[in-house]
Structure 1
Amino acid sequence: MIIEGQRVVLRDEPRETDADDLFAWLQLEEWQYYDEPDVPFAPPNRAAFEASRSAGQIPPDTRKRWEVDTVEGQHIGWVCWYNLNRDTGCTYVGVVLPDPQMWGQGYGPEALHLLVRTLFREMGLNTVKAATWSGNRRSVGCILKCGFRETARLPHRAARSVRGEPLERVEFTATRPKVKVQTQELPAVNGDAHDR
């Protein structure tokens, strides 16, 4: 499946070069800090990376990942849903753009918006949730731009990050009729799809 936006394209079919991109991104300390702020930076070597990739697959009914490309074809990250509860019609979502050069250009909000819109339309979900930590201001901004509202602040598994920042887990919720992107550039959730 391919989901097209104005700046990004989501694809659920991997390319051969995706693994090389991921390995390169795992060498980026800044992204790793925002992903796991309480874990000291320790980039894997290639052998450890390959071993972790072949260690086992997560069942596809509990999580799904789409790669994110620019409309020009550059692979810049991924979006995913996980912890799906079919009984309540709820799942969590995430967006990851590891390269800091891609930050602040609108790619993250559009990719997340396209994913959430697809989840409501294609899977009939009632609620979509997102979570990050309090110091990840770009992630918080991205989530809020997509129409989520903050619903909880909880203790993080560690009180402080490896850089000494206080840590809290921040959770957000979006419900089907409230999801929208608050900018003119992105299509409305209930508007025409750019899917094919």
Structure 2
Amino acid sequence: MNIIYKFLVRLRAYKKEDIDIVLEYINDPEVKKYLVPGIPFPFRKEDEEKWYQNLDPFSTKSYSFDIETLEGKEYIGGCGINDVDWKNSVAVVGIFLGKPHWNKGYGTDAMKVLVRFIFEEMNINKIKLYVYSFNKRAIKSYEKVGFKKEGVLREEIFRNGKYHDVYVMGILKKEWQSKI
């Protein structure tokens, strides 16, 4: 399956020509503060090119997708499966959007597409993610998809001069199936 369709977005393989816009989006301080737990140091083009070269479509642990609008086929962000525990049937996911595409329903839609792919194509039982407590927009989006807060990693991240919690959220396949 090369392209996964939904209502607002499709998930597709990364293209080399996406690298410049990826860098623009992930190096935006407003975006980066939600992405990396460490020091939000800017990524270089060489870093992104190396990451791109290391993408492996035959991986059994991680999978990365571009998020593209259905209308206009515009790159707007990325999402992926960061880790898969096949024995216990658990996948860890992540997502980001470029700031110009916030608050338009794209993130929620992309996460719905990703969740559907994981449950229907990979036969995974549980999907989980980590989100910073100050990322209220993302938390609301994840809850719309069906994720529930499962735990709190107290004062796990230092951002903007103070410590913040990290929430662990998850959704089970049976919960998702009851929503569709």
Bin for the TM-score computed over the shorter chain = 0.7 to 0.9
User: What's the counterpart of residue 105 of structure 1?
Assistant: 104
Among all aligned residue pairs of Structure 1 and Structure 2, give the percentage whose two residues are the same amino acid: 22
User: What's the counterpart of residue 76 of structure 1?
Assistant: 76
- Asked which structure has the greater CA Rg, the reply is 1
> Which one-letter code corresponds to 2:130 in the other structure?
A
CA distance in 1, matches of 2:8, 2:55: 30
CA distance in 2, matches of 1:136, 1:74: 25
> Once the 2 structures are TM-superposed, how far is the Cα of residue 53 of structure 1 from its aligned partner?
5.2
User: What's the counterpart of residue 15 of structure 1?
Assistant: 15
With over 3 angstroms needed to count, the CA separation of the structure-2 counterparts of 1:5 and 1:135, relative to structure 1, is same
With over 3 angstroms needed to count, the CA separation of the structure-2 counterparts of 1:17 and 1:68, relative to structure 1, is same
Higher relative contact order (CA 8 A, sep 6+): 1
> Once the 2 structures are TM-superposed, how far is the Cα of residue 37 of structure 1 from its aligned partner?
5.6
With over 3 angstroms needed to count, the CA separation of the structure-2 counterparts of 1:45 and 1:16, relative to structure 1, is closer
Taking structure 2 as the reference length, the TM-score comes to 0.87
Pick the structure with more helix per residue: 2
CA distance in 1, matches of 2:152, 2:11: 30
Please tell me whether the aligned partners of residues 9 and 68 of structure 2 are also in contact (alpha carbons under 8 angstroms).
yes
Tell me the matched-pair count. 177
CA distance in 1, matches of 2:66, 2:148: 25
Taking structure 1 as the reference length, the TM-score comes to 0.80
Q: Tell me the alpha carbon deviations over residues 39-58 of structure 1, each in whole angstroms, 9 at most, x when there is no partner.
A: 2x43244445545655x557
> Once the 2 structures are TM-superposed, how far is the Cα of residue 16 of structure 1 from its aligned partner?
2.9
Unaligned runs of at least 5 residues, structure 1: 181-187, 191-196
> Which one-letter code corresponds to 1:168 in the other structure?
D
With over 3 angstroms needed to count, the CA separation of the structure-2 counterparts of 1:33 and 1:6, relative to structure 1, is same
User: What's the counterpart of residue 4 of structure 1?
Assistant: 5
User: What's the counterpart of residue 178 of structure 1?
Assistant: 175
CA distance in 2, matches of 1:8, 1:18: 16
Unaligned runs of at least 5 residues, structure 2: none
1:1-196 matched pairs, under 5 angstroms: 1-11=2-12, 13-36=13-36, 39=39, 41-47=40-46, 49-50=48-49, 56=54, 60-71=59-70, 72-97=72-97, 99-158=98-157, 160-161=158-159, 163-179=160-176, 190=180
Q: Tell me the alpha carbon deviations over residues 6-56 of structure 1, each in whole angstroms, 9 at most, x when there is no partner.
A: 110111x322311122222233111111213652x43244445545655x5
CA distance in 2, matches of 1:52, 1:176: 31
With over 3 angstroms needed to count, the CA separation of the structure-2 counterparts of 1:116 and 1:46, relative to structure 1, is closer
> Which one-letter code corresponds to 1:164 in the other structure?
G
Alpha-carbon RMSD across the aligned residues, in angstroms, is 2.2
